[in-house]
Structure 1
Amino acid sequence: MKDIRYLKPAGKAIFQDRYTKKAKELLKEWKDSEEGAYGLVGLPLSKPSISHSGAAFAPGTIRDALQSYTVYSGEQKLVLKDDIIDFGDFDMHPTDIVQSQMRLYEGLKDIFQTNTVKNWFLLGGDHSVSYSAIKAFHKTYSSVGVIQLDAHHDLRNIEDGGPTNGTPFRRLLEEEILDGHNLVQIGIRDFTNALAYHEYATEKGVIVYTMEDIQTQGIRLILKDEIEKLSKRVDHIYLSVDMDVLDQAFAPGCPAIGPGGMDSMTLLQGITYAAQFEKVTAMDIVEIDPTIDFRNMTSRVAANVLLAFMKGKDLEKRWAVKEGIN
């Protein structure tokens, strides 16, 4: 067969700079018995969403968005070197929501119990996936606290709509998988929730910070106080990042966009800071609908959130070495 110059396989003709490594190159397909610092799993479920949502497509677009970034942090002068073991995406039932949620729970329980990685990235999907993910995480690690970055409480009653993306934390509290005092909600937004659900949060001991609290206190101070408190009560802390915590200007691909939310820099700084705490070991990212996004803006923020977490963990190692801990 004749050689044709400059020809590459379909989809492979991408410009490459010999000195630049793209963040997507950190993704490595999982092989049995392989161990690493980070694991990633896709949770492509969005049928339980109260409003129309194509969030099931988000795990793929977030992975692809990693191609937009390099592995070098110019701010901290560090290079991300740890691979992300990619376990793939779960296969969802075509029609049965409860069955799909059970598949996520059972599959994640299996994955967590492999003990192959130290830190977990879980890509939704709508926020209903957090019920299955945190339930499986609790089953494996037992003592768990959750920091939820979200515009909404997600404490809706089950009777009116079943197990939707508005009910994950209600279900976790009612099934006593999560203690209310071990749930911290940050970024709750004005005119986005009902009084009854604020009262329910108060009754259960949930710690709630509004967007006004973030403006007046600052994201780092809030995280410092709450992570230090949680660290005295639990062994692992799980971050649940609903991308609609961001203002609509920064996350046009969220089904529930609105004004008055967080800017992307605040979110990234918060994730980097939180990840520097040893007990923060898992994070989900939910509520991105790529079918309504603009230029993949929201998926690109999500990919940057992953890198911000990894940067935080590298900084944790750096401080540990400096203090002579390791």
Structure 2
Amino acid sequence: MYGPPASDYWKNGRIDQWEKGNSLRWHQVVVPVSLADPLPAIAAHRQLALLGFMSDEGVRRNLGRVGAAKGPKAIRAALASLPYPWEAEHIGIWDAGDVCCLGKFLEDAQEDLGEKVEQLLDMGVLPLVLGGGHEVAWGHFQGIAKHMAKQQSKPSIAIINFDAHFDLRNYIDIGSSGTPFLQIAHECERRGWDFHYLVVGLQAAGNTRALFERAEELGVRYVLAEALYEQAITDFYSLLDAFIADKDFVYISCCLDVFSGAFAPGVSAVNGMGLAPWHVLPLLRRLVAAGKPFSFDIAELNPKYDIDGRTAKLAAQLLHAVVETIARQ
């Protein structure tokens, strides 16, 4: 079910009323819009839209800690007081509301999310999707696929997932937060498209042998978390550059459980040996700076277990970095 943005999302936040110059913050700039109503004209050079996915049904099915359905609200709260130094005519941000999973009807919610993502992409608006469990990825990709199918018969889509897990678990009738990228692989096969999937930050101890074998069968590429600790981050720039070089579209997903529990305690499955933010941030910026058409989501924020709001703040700063990188283009 889709709902417009809540009226109180952007009413609270710091105001630096005595400062000279641009001291605006996100809560003073974000424009709430309903995707069910006629949308305002796009005045900015680049228009972005926050879109929440309030679901943890996929996490429940995957036997994880539920609570991620409240993730979108927590991310917005963490974004509200961050500085917004960009000019309105260059970068515009809408809050496009939320898709909510009602009860156990996850597949319906994923279909609804796909419709809204497709609507935004068709308008030339960049979706920034706020999860929610990582089941958000299957809904998100549905929208990307429908949009890209209108552009060409066989588009080439690069999928980069910052994640401790492959999320390629097998499924029969229903998916979960552990199955979205296998569902995407099957959708690509159904459409006759190639499946281009790269996982960054993978934990060897977090994936069964069967998952590694499935990844090999599907031609999945991955970078282990330990490699990011052992090598300079810049060593991986060429890998990313080559992976997206000949692609028509780039889908970037960031599962917050890729980070160590020291930085991201508020997730569905805490990572005891995960990455630091500075392992991910340069790579994320590299992908965005490439200038390819792309869409982005953040998954698995669980406010119920978030100590001092650390994970929500991390998610907000990742989003801020994405917008900052776009603004520099």
Q: TM > 0.5 between the two?
A: yes
- For the pair 1:128 / 2:142, whether they are aligned, the reply is no
Q: CA RMSD in A?
A: 2.4
- For the pair 1:29 / 2:32, whether they are aligned, the reply is yes
Distance 1:138 1:218, change over 3 A: farther
- For the pair 1:62 / 2:71, whether they are aligned, the reply is no
Give the structure 2 partner of residue 229 of structure 1: 243
Of structures 1 and 2, the larger Rg is shown by 1
Distance 1:147 1:280, change over 3 A: farther
Selected match of 2:177 from 165, 186, 195: 165
User: Matched residue of 2:223: which SS?
Assistant: strand
User: Matched residue of 2:303: which SS?
Assistant: coil
Give unpaired runs (5+ residues) of structure 1: 1-8, 73-77, 318-326
Give the drift of 1:222. Answer: 2.0
TM-score (norm 2): 0.83
User: Matched residue of 1:43: which SS?
Assistant: strand
Q: State whether residues 55 and 100 of structure 2, in contact with CA within 8 Å, keep that contact through their aligned partners in structure 1.
A: no
Q: State whether residues 274 and 280 of structure 1, in contact with CA within 8 Å, keep that contact through their aligned partners in structure 2.
A: no
**Which range is displaced more, 299-308 or 179-188?**
179-188
Give the drift of 1:201. Answer: 0.7
TM-score (norm 1): 0.84
Q: State whether residues 92 and 103 of structure 1, in contact with CA within 8 Å, keep that contact through their aligned partners in structure 2.
A: no
Q: State whether residues 183 and 206 of structure 1, in contact with CA within 8 Å, keep that contact through their aligned partners in structure 2.
A: yes
Give unpaired runs (5+ residues) of structure 2: 1-7, 150-154
In the alignment, the residues of structure 2 paired with residue 23 and residue 13 of structure 1 have an alpha-carbon distance, to the nearest angstrom, of: 10
In the alignment, the residues of structure 1 paired with residue 12 and residue 213 of structure 2 have an alpha-carbon distance, to the nearest angstrom, of: 56
- For the pair 1:138 / 2:145, whether they are aligned, the reply is yes
In the alignment, the residues of structure 2 paired with residue 299 and residue 224 of structure 1 have an alpha-carbon distance, to the nearest angstrom, of: 30
Give the alignment of 1:34-49 within 5 angstroms: 34-35=41-42, 36=44, 37=46, 38-49=48-59
In the alignment, the residues of structure 1 paired with residue 121 and residue 320 of structure 2 have an alpha-carbon distance, to the nearest angstrom, of: 21
Give the drift of 1:266. Answer: 2.2
Q: State whether residues 253 and 290 of structure 1, in contact with CA within 8 Å, keep that contact through their aligned partners in structure 2.
A: yes
The amino acid of 1:199's aligned partner reads E
The amino acid of 1:245's aligned partner reads V
Percent identity between matched residues is 25
Selected match of 2:233 from 191, 195, 219: 219
Selected match of 1:189 from 189, 198, 203: 203
- For the pair 1:156 / 2:169, whether they are aligned, the reply is yes
In the alignment, the residues of structure 1 paired with residue 91 and residue 51 of structure 2 have an alpha-carbon distance, to the nearest angstrom, of: 16
Give the drift of 1:217. Answer: 3.6
Give the drift of 1:223. Answer: 4.0
Give the structure 2 partner of residue 270 of structure 1: 283
Give the drift of 1:131. Answer: 0.6
In the alignment, the residues of structure 2 paired with residue 220 and residue 307 of structure 1 have an alpha-carbon distance, to the nearest angstrom, of: 21
Count of equivalent residues: 298
Give the drift of 1:215. Answer: 2.2
Give the drift of 1:43. Answer: 1.0
